[in-house]
Amino acid sequence: MAHDLRSGLWSTSPLYQNAVMDLDFAGKTAGMSPNVLERLKTPKKAMCVSVPVRMDDGSVKVFEGYRVQHSTTLGPGKGGIRFHPEVNLSEVSALAMLMTMKCSLVGLPLGGAKGGIRLDPSQLSRAEQQALTRRYTMEIISMIGPEQDVPAPDIGTDGQHMAWMMDTYSMAKGHAVPGVVTGKPIEIGGSLGRPESTGRGVVYVIEHAIDLLKRRGTAQYDLKKMTATVNGFGKVGAVAANELFIRGCKVVAVSDFYGGIYNKAGLNIPDVINYMNKNRTLKGYPNAEAISNEQLFALEVDILVPAAIDGVITKDNMKNIRAKIISEGANGPITSEAQHYLESQGVTIIPDILANAGGVIVSYFEWVQGLQQFFWSEKEVNEKLAEVMARAFNRTAETSDRYKCGMKTAALITSVERLSQAMLLRGLFP
């Protein structure tokens, strides 16, 4: 009997199972080749490593680390490194799959990859995090490189972690290799606009969705007269909230892991960001009332941005959602069942592989700038980002019209169509 890899370790997480269900649904909707879909349901390569670290107290702790390459059909692997207590092989594999779809959808010459270490980074000192990052880099060094697989920051990591990864890789190679990672500090080859790119992209596609609804004649919206909530006030959510605020949208509620804050008259987002930076939490913010994340999801607003983690909108709370437009800032925040229900209720869902693609787009820009040693202004970066996002959104909207399906399914169809053509042209070795 043939062994089905999807019955193994990388099929255990709800995120992976959801990704496969969405892929199957898109394939059925568009009548795609089952051979192509079969290849896309499993990762190309996965590495599990142990990462021993000498802690500040002299003891040695061993952490679990992963790096997964889902597909390199279109080019080198691309995907973040996540430090989080819930990281596991299945979750990382699912995120790598989403990266493959994302890169294909927005037209990048990159494949999908992802990595992570299972831990709570807030429990480690700076010295311990540096030791962890450097040892992890050496453990996966055979998988990464500018022409092979290019990591970037994700949940729990930032530009400093990427600087440590780049330095470790460069020390092993004997010369500086800035192209091995993206999301680096500007001083060592990072790109202007990279930290804000994902959040900006989330709002760019909201603007396109509003224009699309007007063109279709299904709704008439004006962003300056709309209300919004943001679940997950971190690297993506805080930027998205601020971009909405700048555009005149009334952001009435935002939340972090511990809960949220609400003000019916609208929050002063720059002030909330300053408070968050100072206190590391939204708790206790003045001029707003405390609410739970579940209460935030149930608010009657025009726009909802789930920008925290996966699986926050499910069959258990989908009927509480009252937003008209959802832009998925996080990866997989809506389960398949909830997606189909919400779409049946007329909710426009802008899928994660489109809505949060701004990060990988500007990471690609950074990779290109590093290879050429020719760097762009932030204005150029943002203009190019907006252009790529607009093109991807329009392609997805055209697919949605062609197959009479929601934007989430249309985005997957558009992505797989490009991957399918590339697979057929390259063939199957041997």
For 19, 90, 168, the CA distances from 96, given in Å and listed in that order, are 11, 10, 23
Q: What is the mean pLDDT of residues 290-306?
A: 95
- In this structure, the answer to whether residues 60 and 171 fall within a common structural domain is yes
Any domain includes 285: yes
Any domain includes 253: yes
pLDDT of amino acid 1:
30
- In this structure, the answer to whether residues 201 and 287 fall within a common structural domain is yes
Tell the residue number behind the tokens 């900006």, with chain if given: 200
Question: For 212-225, what is each residue's pLDDT tens digit?
Answer: 999 888 777 899 99
358-372 vs 89-105: helix crossing angle, rounded to 10:
80
pLDDT of amino acid 310:
85
Any domain includes 422: no
Beta bridge mates, 325: 303, 348
pLDDT of amino acid 60:
98
- In this structure, the answer to whether residues 230 and 331 fall within a common structural domain is yes
Any domain includes 394: no
pLDDT band for position 7 (50/70/90)? low
For 89, 156, 313, the CA distances from 52, given in Å and listed in that order, are 18, 19, 36
- In this structure, the answer to whether residues 346 and 292 fall within a common structural domain is yes
Q: What is the mean pLDDT of residues 264-277?
A: 96
Catalytic residue among 41, 102, 114, 408, which?
A: 114
Q: Is the pLDDT of residue 257 over 90?
A: no
pLDDT band for position 12 (50/70/90)? confident
- In this structure, the answer to whether residues 56 and 147 fall within a common structural domain is yes
Query: Which of 355, 387, 420 represents a domain boundary (last residue)?
Result: 355
* 350 φ, ψ (degrees, to nearest 5): -90, 115
Q: Is the pLDDT of residue 3 over 80?
A: no
Query: Would you state the structure tokens that stand for residue 105, as one six-digit string?
Result: 């959808």
Q: What is the mean pLDDT of residues 367-371?
A: 92
- In this structure, the answer to whether residues 153 and 210 fall within a common structural domain is no
Any domain includes 362: no
Question: For 170-206, what is each residue's pLDDT tens digit?
Answer: 999 999 999 999 999 999 999 999 989 999 999 999 9
pLDDT band for position 9 (50/70/90)? low
Cβ atoms within 10 Å of 25's Cβ, excluding its own? 18
Q: Could you check whether the bond before residue 430 is cis, i.e. omega within 30 degrees of 0?
A: yes
Q: Which domain holds residue 55?
A: 43-176
Q: What is the mean pLDDT of residues 360-388?
A: 94
Any domain includes 428: no
For 428, half-sphere exposure in the C-beta direction (CA atoms, 13 angstrom radius) is 6
Question: For 75-130, what is each residue's pLDDT tens digit?
Answer: 999 999 999 999 999 999 999 999 999 999 999 999 999 999 999 999 999 999 99
For 30, 57, 116, 125, 307, the CA distances from 84, given in Å and listed in that order, are 36, 22, 8, 15, 16
pLDDT of amino acid 10:
65
Q: Is the pLDDT of residue 5 over 50?
A: no
Query: Would you state the structure tokens that stand for residue 381, as one six-digit string?
Result: 């970066």
The CATH number linked to 50 is: 3.40.50.10860
Q: Is 114 a catalytic residue?
A: yes
pLDDT band for position 8 (50/70/90)? low
pLDDT band for position 399 (50/70/90)? very high
Question: For 308-317, what is each residue's pLDDT tens digit?
Answer: 988 899 999 9
Q: Is the pLDDT of residue 370 over 50?
A: yes
- In this structure, the answer to whether residues 59 and 106 fall within a common structural domain is yes
Tell the residue number behind the tokens 């920051």, with chain if given: 153
Mean pLDDT of the chain: 93
Tell the residue number behind the tokens 């300056």, with chain if given: 224
For 87, 134, 383, the CA distances from 263, given in Å and listed in that order, are 34, 44, 33
- In this structure, the answer to whether residues 227 and 167 fall within a common structural domain is no
- In this structure, the answer to whether residues 85 and 144 fall within a common structural domain is yes
Q: How far apart are CA 172 and CA 136, in angstroms?
A: 13
- In this structure, the answer to whether residues 172 and 201 fall within a common structural domain is no
Query: Which of 308, 327, 355 represents a domain boundary (last residue)?
Result: 355
Q: How far apart are CA 209 and CA 220, in angstroms?
A: 11
Q: Is the pLDDT of residue 2 over 50?
A: no
For the chain, how many structural domains are there in total? Answer: 2
Helices H, strands E: what count in the chain?
A: 14, 12
Strands 250-256 and 149-153, bridge-based pairing: unpaired
- In this structure, the answer to whether residues 250 and 217 fall within a common structural domain is yes
The CATH number linked to 201 is: 3.40.50.720
- In this structure, the answer to whether residues 137 and 215 fall within a common structural domain is no
